[in-house]
Amino acid sequence: EPEVTQTPSHQVTQMGQEVILRCVPISNHLYFYWYRQILGQKVEFLVSFYNNEISEKSEIFDDQFSVERPDGSNFTLKIRSTKLEDSAMYFCASSRDIEETQYFGPGTRLLVL
């Protein structure tokens, strides 16, 4: 069964550094998403992406965040200048259509020191 994959599984970075989190969505899916979960808290929506542009973004998704689909398979989340409070699990998800199941990847655990 096709799965969403994410790399790396863990990343440790210094405050102020840029990080890029990578995702490979399910191949026939058209909608892509990023979510985050701060330790012990609920999962929060960051951004959705469709037809090579941002479809919706939350208040969390400020100017330090950006998303890109650099080729036909990868979907990336860039954090330009990481802060301590960016430490979280970041999940990528994809869906075939907007009103269909969103399938989540295994997550990237980001620790900012």
Which residues of the shown chain bind other proteins in the complex (CB under 8 A)? 31, 33, 35, 37, 41-48, 50, 55-56, 58, 89, 91, 98-104, 106-107, 109
**In angstroms, what CA-CA distances link 83 with 45, 79, 108?**
18, 9, 16
- Report the C-alpha gap between 8 and 22 in whole angstroms: 7
CB of 53 to other proteins, least distance (A): 12
Of 41 and 73, nearer to other proteins (C-beta) is 41
CB of 63 to other proteins, least distance (A): 19
* DSSP for residue 28: T
Query: What sign does the CA torsion over 75, 3, 61, 52 have?
Result: positive
CB of 46 to other proteins, least distance (A): 8
CB of 16 to other proteins, least distance (A): 26
* Consecutive H or E run containing 90: strand 88-95
Of 50 and 69, nearer to other proteins (C-beta) is 50
